[in-house]
Amino acid sequence: MSEKNKNTIKVAIVEDHDIFRKRLSELLSFYNEIELVFAVDSGEKCREYLSKAETIPQVILMDIELPGISGIETTFRVKQEYKNIDIIMFTVFEDDDRIFESIQVGATGYMLKDEPIEKVVSAIKEVIKGGAPISPSIARKVFGLMTQLKKEAKANPKNSDITPFDLTPSEIKILEKVIEGLTNKEIAEEVILSPWTVKTHVKNIYKKMQVNSRAAAVRLALERKII
């Protein structure tokens, strides 16, 4: 294997629209840092390719609306079998339920299909570095939903004096930044700590929440209404 292939990010596409899938594959081929492992039109084919592939993708761009099993269901099944694969939901929808379902089943990012290819490639790179890329309009919806959850929690203060998982105020602040999709370096800049200290906090958060990924931490935080 060449040095170039060793350093490329392995990507797969699951998209049922033939023209869009081919166009996206073509555009990604112009980036030397991206290596397309496979591009298929259904969740069933995605899982079939994964079971036989010599090279497992690091990132999958997953359409939500697929024939047969949906992109959300495919994401759930893939994450059950391949925990290290990051999945970016790639869609034209900004539906609140789909956003939260995607987070709950383990998606790491949520991008709209009309984003420029440079943004898509940046999202792929970001997710490899531990980030959780979200299109700006989607991010606004996520934050809006989080605000609504906070209001509901205040309206129903039962057990509000108990912090789930015994998280400290500092850890909760960092968890908020994780949910916003910031990398450890970006979090460090915002909370005025060293990246090493932030990394230590994140590890402690994972340990307390008994999770091993950002996506799982975000999912659990939203389910338990920690933030």
User: Can you give the pLDDT at residue 161?
Assistant: 45
**Domain 162-223, architecture per CATH:** Orthogonal Bundle (1.10)
Using an 8 Å Cβ cutoff, are 219 and 99 in contact?
A: no
Please report, for the chain, the start and end positions of each structural domain, with discontinuous segments joined by +. Answer: 3-135, 162-223
The amino acid occupying position 193 is L
User: Can you give the pLDDT at residue 20?
Assistant: 94
pLDDT per residue over 151-183, tens digit each?
Answer: 665 666 554 444 567 888 888 888 888 877 778
Which residue's structure tokens are 């555009």? Answer: 27
Comparing CA positions, the residue from 145, 205, 138, 120 lying closest to residue 171 is: 205
SS percent in the chain: helix, strand, coil, step 5: 55, 10, 30
- C-alpha distance from residue 118 to each of 34, 53, 111 (Å): 12, 27, 12
Residue 66 has what DSSP assignment?
-
User: Can you give the pLDDT at residue 3?
Assistant: 45
The three-class DSSP label of residue 11 is strand
Q: Give me the half-sphere count of Cα atoms (radius 13 Å) on the Cβ side of residue 207.
A: 7
SS3 labels along 117-166: HHHHHHHHHHHHCCCCCECHHHHHHHHHHHHHHHHHHHHCCCCCCCCHHH
Predicted TM-score (pTM) of the model is 0.63
- Cβ within 8 Å of residue 192, ≥6 positions away: none
CA distance 219 to 227: 11
**Domain 3-135, architecture per CATH:** 3-Layer(aba) Sandwich (3.40)
pLDDT digits (tens), the chain, 227 positions: 444 466 899 999 999 999 999 999 999 999 999 999 999 999 999 999 999 888 999 999 999 888 888 898 898 889 888 988 999 988 876 666 677 777 777 788 888 888 899 999 999 998 998 887 877 766 666 656 666 655 665 666 554 444 567 888 888 888 888 877 778 888 888 888 888 888 888 888 888 888 777 767 777 787 777 76
CA distance 100 to 96: 6
Structure tokens given for 88:
């970016």
